[in-house]
Amino acid sequence: MPSILVLHGPNLNTLGKREPEHYGSETLDDVNNRLMEKGEKWGCHVDTFQSNIEGELINQIHASMGKYDAIIMNPGAYTHYSYAIFDAIQAVSVPVIEVHISNVHTREPFRHTSVIAPACKGQIVGFGTKSYDLALEAVREWIEGV
């Protein structure tokens, strides 16, 4: 059974409360439960992890080798300046999809640049929490060879 790791970066634990005009009203538990249910229906195991601490996210990326077939990651604000996360992604052979709930390209200028994106297989932005679902679907298609 394929395994997928979903990583949520800083402040994503506040989903449902923080700036609902950008991030919606779903909680992180809502998102995680939906992804785990979809994964189960598709025959994939989905694990989730959230941290406000950069090093903990890096540790999860490092530990993914040999354990996960793909990572779906919303790095939050680390997107714009964490070369350490970029290096961690480069160091493992696990494909990563970068996900953002809001359309970062229509927001403040500092959000327009991702230093993580060049290390990722792809990026999905702007579809609300459904961005995670689209990433999960993309991973499923890779695994199934579609």
Residues that are catalytic = 23, 100
User: Per-residue DSSP letters for 28-50?
Assistant: HHHHHHHHHHHHHHHT-EEEEEE
Burial of 92 (0-12, 13-18, 19+ CB in 10 A): middle
The phi and psi torsions of 16 (rounded to 5 degrees) equal 95, -20
Q: How many residues does the chain have?
A: 146
Given a contact cutoff of 8 angstroms between Cβ atoms, the answer to whether 72 and 131 are in contact is no
Given a contact cutoff of 8 angstroms between Cβ atoms, the answer to whether 123 and 117 are in contact is yes
Tokens of 89: 């992604």
